Every structure is written in structure tokens, then in C-alpha cells.
Amino acid sequence: MDYVIEMLNIRKEFGNFVANDNITLQLKKGEIHALLGENGAGKSTLMNVLFGLYQPEAGEIRVKGKPVKITDPNVANDLGIGMVHQHFMLVDVFTVTENIILGREITKAGRIDIKKAEQEVREISERYGLAVDPQAKISDISVGMQQRVEILKTLYRGADILIFDEPTAVLTPQEIKELMQILRTLIKEGKSIILITHKLKEIMEAADRCTVIRKGKGIGTVNVSETNPNELASLMVGREVVFKTEKTEAKPKQDVLEVKDLVVKDSRGITVVDGLDLSVRSGEIVGIAGVDGNGQTELIEAITGLRKSESGSVKVNGKELFNLSPRKVTEAGVGHIPQDRHKHGLVLNFPIAENMVLQNYYKKPFSKNGILDFKAIYQQAKRLISEFDVRTPSETALARALSGGNQQKAIIGREIDRDPDLLIAAQPTRGLDVGAIEFIHKRLIEQRDHGKAVLLVSFELDEIMNVSDRIAVIYEGKIVAIVDPKETDEQELGLLMAGSNRKEAGANV
Ligand SMILES: Nc1ncnc2c1ncn2[C@@H]1O[C@H](COP(=O)(O)OP(=O)(O)OP(=O)(O)O)[C@@H](O)[C@H]1O
Ligand SMILES: [Mg+2]
């Protein structure tokens, strides 16, 4: 058989914890091979073993039939293995080209020949359909572009086996389409791909075969043409998964959030929230649907105090919060599940327990007379970890050691548990497995049923349609339509999000 990679009976331990227990994965030449498993199942760990970041305790790796020891990423590179990580590893202040050549600089008389490098980057990017500006600074380009840089980096090093760890979790629907096209081009150019994703639709669409792991153990490998999303979900979770969340009719009461005529500029000084009005009532979930870049990120940052606004009003329970600090906003009863969990959600080098009390550590029962009560803090963490099924070796583990999805579950647990009157959830289920998504949707609806106001922002139209009681469509910094999810469909929403008015979109106005 023509396998380019064989990982045979791999075992990886972290202390007493077994993250990979006897896992086998074989990659055929020219295939897209999906790797599926719940949050914390051990996918990233297994791929980090293949990329030489971790040494396995047992098992064998063969590359093109030959047994190898991949002692570090340079060895992996030399074997033709490249990896696009779940959390990017780029240097923000460097340009695209500088990042791509880092560690592989071409020199001319001892100096880096940047012109030649830029030319090479241009050539590779054209060949694989990966448009980027070689001279742009990383901090100035979009997440989708940064991902392309990561891909180019592996190609520049001559990789023909590419590992993608949840590449679509951080992308918008349009960028996902583009990435799928890029994957197809890579295969056509003779590459082989391992793709980690929680989106079963993507597996069905792009992958040839799929290996499933559950709680560190291999469950098996299936041909994608012979399976379906339901089967994949139950293989991975070990039970049936419900894709549509049941909920009763909302019984909204008074306004909790009232945004009036809000104007916010983005980091470049451009007005991106442009006289926006929005209300969310007690007992309802309002979903914001919009194409990325229409002001949704800045709107959330403005409400939560992370960004200064120019003018307008933001009231929660009648209290004006305009340009107050994040702590003041939190204390006024606002919870926030942030879009960027590393920047605004967690302190990665703190234990997960301390991360669970980031907003209220200075209050009773976590603090008494200015002294932290660690017993109370650890008790709280234990409870949240069990209630929200955060899979971690212990509550003392650093947040950094948790899998991406479990970091997300920890933040959601902390924010929901504070029981805020207004819960703002920005891309809350990003990077979560289907079982965890089901659970989180239930909890959002439960908050609603307890009379809380929930504002949901998501690029997943399925999620918006399933969970919201009202949908507010944002376009060029304004709410241009409010629609009832029962009376709309993805097509109409798509048109509204692209700026056509409701009549044109075919709705009953
Ligand atoms: N450096 C580490 N030290 C201790 N434990 C770790 C470390 N890295 C991972 N783990 C643990 O190993 C388990 C598997 O983590 P891994 O990141 O491989 O999961 P995953 O399948 O990629 O999940 P996700 O879908 O959420 O990204 C988790 O329970 C995690 O806490
Ligand atoms: Mg992972």
C-alpha cells in the first residue's frame, strides 16, 4: 500500500495522563485524511508527535515506508512534513516574507537577500493559488491571510505532507470556501493532507477518509463516501447527537440592552459602527448575522468596554455604560464570551482554577480582607470543570495545557455561571465538537428561560437560525433588518447580509 505516513500504536503521556493511547493513523499519498474527535480527544497531541514537538512513549512512525525518529520540527521539515497549527505561530512585527523564510534565510555575502526571497514567495503563492502580499506586516493582515502565510511557510520548506489543525475554526464562510479550493489545488500538485476539523460538513465535502479518536483511543478509519454526518458524530461521541436544539417560544419582557445611535471607529480610524440601534430584552436571544467586517466585532468591543466609542448610548438595565471600563461593565451585569479566547478570555500561564475567577477574585468568597482564599477558588473551579465537562488533567493545570475546545468550554462556563443579566456570546462554539455545541446551545437557551438577555454573534448561519429568537442583520455598521428565524431561510439572510433590502430579498415586510 502506498502510505506516505504511518503512525502505528502511538502512545503519548503527560505525567499520569494518557493523551494518546495506542492510536494508529495511515495517510495515503494524494488523499485528504480527516482526523475527528471530541475536544480533548488527543488530535493536536497526535499531530504534534508527528511534527516532532512531542516524543511518543511508544509506537512507531514510518514516512514513505521507512521507520523514522522525529526528534524535532526540523527533522519533520526535512522529511517533508509541514504543519499549520491551531493557534498561529507568526511574528507579528515581521513581514509575510520574513515570517516565511525565518530560519531558512537565503544569504548573499552574509546578508539576507530579501528581494530574492520575496520573488520566491510570489512564485509559490501563484502556483498554489495563495494570494498574499509578500511585503505586508503580519499585524496588518486578516486571520485568513495569516493562515495562508502559515501554509506558504510549509511549502517554502518543501513539505509534501501537510497537517492542518482546525484551519477553518478561525475563518469566515467565504474564507472557508477559499481554503477548500486551496486544499484541492495542493492535492492536485501532489501533496497529501491530514485535516483536523469539527465540522462534519467539511469532512463530507473535502475528505477521502476519516480516522476517529475518542478519549485518546483510536476508534477506526472510515471511507467518507460510505458514511454520513450522523454516523461520524456517534462514532466520535459514543452516543447519538441531536443537531437541532429544542426550545419553547420566547417570553421576552423589558429591555435589558439598549444601544442607541452608537458610532465606533476601528483601529485604523474608520467608522465601522455607524449610528447603530439595537435592543435585547429579558428572556430572549438576539442573534447578529452579518458578513465579517461589518462592525460586529467593534460593536461587541464597544459594549463590553474593550474599545472606546465616538458617540451614542449603551444602556444595560437603564444604566448608561458608554465608554466605561470593562470592570465597570462587568459589574453592571454583563458577561462576555469573547471572540479571541487567547487575547481576551484567558491568562494562559495561570492555572485553569485562577482563570475561573478572573472577574471576581477580589470579592467574597474568593477573597477575604484582601487575601485570596485558594480553597474557595479551587472548589469553584472543580464545580465548573465538572458542570461544563472541561476535560483537563486537573484544576491546577495551566490554561495553556488545555485543548483549544476545552479552553473555550472553560470560558463559557465561567461567564454563564456568573449569571449575568446580559450575556454576550461572540462565536461561542468556535472550535467546539458537535456534542459540546449541543450542550452550549442548551445552556444559552436555559439562560434565556431564566429571564436573561442573550446577544449572540456568529458566522454560522445554522447556529444563528437555530438558537436565536430574533435575528438582527448587520450591514455596514447598521442593523438593516430584524427577522424572525421561523420566517426566514439562509438564502434570504444571505441577501440581507449582502446589503439588499427585505423586499428585494423576497421577504414579507
Ligand atoms: N502540554 C500538555 N501538558 C499536559 N496536558 C496536555 C498537554 N497538551 C495536551 N494535554 C492534554 O491532553 C489532552 C488532549 O489534548 P489535545 O490538545 O490533543 O486535544 P484535541 O483533540 O486537539 O482537542 P480540541 O478539539 O479541543 O483542540 C487534553 O486533555 C489536554 O489537556
Ligand atoms: Mg486541538
Q: Rounded to a whole number, what is the distance in angstroms from the first to the last CA of the chain?
A: 61
Tell me what the mean pLDDT of segment 266-293 comes to: 95
| Dist. CA 77–CA 21, nearest whole Å | 25
Question: Is the pLDDT reported for residue 421 higher than 60?
Answer: yes
The three grid cell numbers given for residue 58, joined into one nine-digit string: 511508544
User: What is the position in ligand 1's atom list of the atom closest to the CA of 37?
Assistant: 21
401 C-alpha vs ligand 2 centroid, how far in Å? 11
| Dist. CA 370–CA 424, nearest whole Å | 30
The three grid cell numbers given for residue 56, joined into one nine-digit string: 511518543
| Dist. CA 130–CA 145, nearest whole Å | 9
Tell me what the mean pLDDT of segment 17-33 comes to: 97
If you take atom 31 of ligand 1, which residue's CA is the nearest one?
A: 402
If you take atom 12 of ligand 1, which residue's CA is the nearest one?
A: 19
Question: Is the pLDDT reported for residue 507 higher than 90?
Answer: no
**pLDDT of the residue at 506:** 54
Q: Which amino acid is at 177?
A: K
Each residue's pLDDT tens digit, 114-148: 888 899 999 999 999 898 999 999 988 888 899 99
Per-residue confidence at 505, pLDDT binned at 50, 70, 90?
low
Per-residue confidence at 393, pLDDT binned at 50, 70, 90?
confident
User: What is the position in ligand 1's atom list of the atom closest to the CA of 47?
Assistant: 18
If you take atom 2 of ligand 1, which residue's CA is the nearest one?
A: 401
If you take atom 28 of ligand 1, which residue's CA is the nearest one?
A: 40
Ligand 1 pocket by C-beta < 6 Å: which residues?
14, 17, 19, 37, 39-45, 86, 391-393, 401-406
CA nearest to 68, candidates 46, 43, 51, 83: 51
**Closest-approaching ligand to the CA atom of 216:** 1
Phi (first) and psi of residue 218, to 5 degrees: -75, 135
Per-residue confidence at 179, pLDDT binned at 50, 70, 90?
very high
32 C-alpha vs ligand 1 centroid, how far in Å? 23
Which position has the higher pLDDT, 249 or 501? 249
Tell me what the mean pLDDT of segment 15-31 comes to: 96
Tell me what the mean pLDDT of segment 278-285 comes to: 97
86 C-alpha vs ligand 2 centroid, how far in Å? 6
- Say if residues 401 and 349 touch (Cβ distance below 8 Å): no
Name the residue of 10, 14, 47, 348 to mutate for ligand 1: max ligand atoms within 8 A of Cβ: 14
Tell me what the mean pLDDT of segment 241-253 comes to: 87
| Dist. CA 431–CA 423, nearest whole Å | 20
- Say if residues 129 and 181 touch (Cβ distance below 8 Å): yes
**Closest-approaching ligand to the CA atom of 45:** 1
Number of other residues whose CB lies within 10 A of the CB of residue 3: 16
Q: Alpha-carbon dihedral of residues 247, 249, 251, 256, nearest 10 degrees?
A: 60
Q: Which of 55-69, 233-247, 406-420 has the highest mean pLDDT?
A: 55-69
**CA distance readout (Å), 183 to 187, 197, 211, 341:** 6, 14, 18, 27
Question: Is the pLDDT reported for residue 449 higher than 90?
Answer: yes
Strand partners, 453: 284, 422
The three grid cell numbers given for residue 198, joined into one nine-digit string: 469539527
User: What is the position in ligand 1's atom list of the atom closest to the CA of 406?
Assistant: 26
Q: Which amino acid is at 179?
A: L
If you take atom 9 of ligand 1, which residue's CA is the nearest one?
A: 401
Beta-sheet pairing, 3-14 with 17-28: antiparallel
**By three-state DSSP, how is residue 76 classified?**
helix
Question: Mean pLDDT over all residues of the chain?
Answer: 92
Name the residue of 11, 44, 83, 213 to mutate for ligand 1: max ligand atoms within 8 A of Cβ: 44
**pLDDT of the residue at 246:** 85
Each residue's pLDDT tens digit, 51-90: 999 999 999 999 999 999 999 999 999 999 999 987 788 9
Tell me what the mean pLDDT of segment 460-468 comes to: 93
User: What is the position in ligand 1's atom list of the atom closest to the CA of 41?
Assistant: 21
**pLDDT of the residue at 360:** 84
Question: Is the pLDDT reported for residue 1 higher than 80?
Answer: no
**pLDDT of the residue at 122:** 92
**pLDDT of the residue at 509:** 43
**pLDDT of the residue at 151:** 95
Could you please report the per-residue DSSP string of 256-297? EEEEEEEEEE-TTS-EEEEEEEEEEETTEEEEEE--TTSSHH
If you take atom 18 of ligand 1, which residue's CA is the nearest one?
A: 42
**pLDDT of the residue at 112:** 74
Helix, strand, coil percent values for the chain (each to nearest 5): 35, 25, 40
- Say if residues 36 and 236 touch (Cβ distance below 8 Å): yes
Name the residue of 402, 407, 409, 434 to mutate for ligand 1: max ligand atoms within 8 A of Cβ: 402
Q: What percent of the chain is predicted at pLDDT more than 90?
A: 75
401 C-alpha vs ligand 1 centroid, how far in Å? 6
Is the link from the previous residue into 365 a cis peptide, with omega within 30 of 0?
yes
403 C-alpha vs ligand 2 centroid, how far in Å? 5
DSSP element (H, E) containing 224: none
Per-residue confidence at 504, pLDDT binned at 50, 70, 90?
low
Tell me what the mean pLDDT of segment 193-222 comes to: 96
450 C-alpha vs ligand 1 centroid, how far in Å? 34
User: What is the position in ligand 1's atom list of the atom closest to the CA of 407?
Assistant: 26
- Say if residues 183 and 22 touch (Cβ distance below 8 Å): no
**pLDDT of the residue at 139:** 87
**pLDDT of the residue at 249:** 93
136 C-alpha vs ligand 2 centroid, how far in Å? 29
**pLDDT of the residue at 72:** 95
Q: Which amino acid is at 249?
A: E
CB half-sphere exposure, 353, CA atoms < 13 A = 18
- Say if residues 68 and 62 touch (Cβ distance below 8 Å): yes
Q: What is the pTM of this model?
A: 0.88
Question: Is the pLDDT reported for residue 342 higher than 80?
Answer: no
432 C-alpha vs ligand 1 centroid, how far in Å? 13
If you take atom 8 of ligand 1, which residue's CA is the nearest one?
A: 401
**pLDDT of the residue at 508:** 47
